[in-house]
Amino acid sequence: MKLKVYNVRDEEVELINHWSSQNNIDVIMTPEALTLDTLSDLADCDGIVNSQVGPLDKAVYAELENLGIKQIAQRSAGVDMYDLEEASKHHIVISNVPSYSPESIAEFTVTIALNLIRKVREIQEQIEKHNFSWTLPIRGRVLGDMTVGIIGTGRIGQATAKIFKGFGCRVIGFDLYPSSLMDGVLEYQDSVEDILKQSDVISLHMPPSADNYHLLNEKTFSLLKKDAILLNMARGALIDTEALLSALDKDQLAGAGIDTYEFEGPYIPKNLSDQKLNDPVFKALLDHPKVIYTNHIAYYTDEAVKNLIESALNASVDVINTGTTDTRVN
């Protein structure tokens, strides 16, 4: 059996080699993305492991079928970059890694919340000017006194809720499928609007869908408390970024922690330090004084990277051997 892994970063090579040795399976690695131009050496491969960022060209599915490839194992939870109907049409199983380290994302979410609430960036900017005075712009608030709204209570939302609860927060939540595991941790509310109206901190933890596209928009931003903060460590399409920037400028909320941007595909994860950004909305998001932006990195811990690689490789083997896997999404 032979697998090909696309979009390999330097730090992943040792982990992939270790798995290959342990499982006695040949693995070809490439830093290149999966495109029509990078399929040339797949003729003697049995499966693909990928880390797709932007939408995959539809023509790739047909060509993979022609090459006898029957699966793509995505090294992430999100699979919105794939056309699942097109994949199924060409008899290609798409799998994901639904749970690789919920705690990593949850801890990062709370870290960003604390940075916003305690005005860490403002403090640093003041200190850089050798201004060591105590002034109102750097006075923080107590997290434990706040109501935190969790929208989406899957594994990551649950882990996040537990940490906020540990600070003494009142935690409320909304999910189409409430979990009994949250009994004693959060109080479920009847609607997203109920969460937005009550919360001092709003944290998004859900996959994108047609129903929640731009869940946070001009209308829903008007429901927020003026001192609320918004956290998005999920998917960029949940937020209308232009509406967010406008709401921040109008003081409809106090700040935002954004780890995912709707149109991040051309930028993440690349080193573009010597290039200009062509997206004015993205640039405005990066430059906004009330925004802490991070580069889709909430998951990024040693544990998460290891679990993503091993789970995706194992799923690829499952499909090749049995025709399916527990983590298939189509």
Task: Check if 32 is active-site.
Answer: no
Would residue 191 be called left, alpha or beta, if left means φ above 0 and alpha means ψ between -120 and 50 degrees? beta
Task: Check if 296 is active-site.
Answer: yes
Catalytic position from the list 12, 262, 264, 310 = 264
Catalytic position from the list 235, 303, 310, 328 = 235
CA dist., res. 46 & res. 1, Å (int):
6
Task: Check if 170 is active-site.
Answer: no
Angle at which helix 102-117 crosses helix 120-128, to 10 degrees, equals 60
Q: Give the 3-state DSSP-derived string for the chain, with helices as H, strands as E and coil as C.
A: CEEEECCCCHHHHHHHHHHHHHHCCEEEECCCCCCHHHCCCCCCCCEEEECCCCCCCHHHHHHHHHCCCCEEEECCCCCCCCCHHHHHHCCCEEECCCCCCHHHHHHHHHHHHHHHHCCHHHHHHHHHCCCCCCCHHHCCCCHHHCEEEEECCCHHHHHHHHHHHHCCCEEEEECCCCCHHHCCCCEECCCHHHHHHHCCEEEECCCCCCCCCCCECHHHHCCCCCCCEEEECCCHHHECHHHHHHHHHCCCCCEEEECCCCCCCCCCCCCCCCCCCCCHHHHHHHHCCCEEECCCCCCCCHHHHHHHHHHHHHHHHHHHHHCCCCCECC
Catalytic position from the list 75, 155, 205, 296 = 296
Residues labelled catalytic = 235, 264, 296
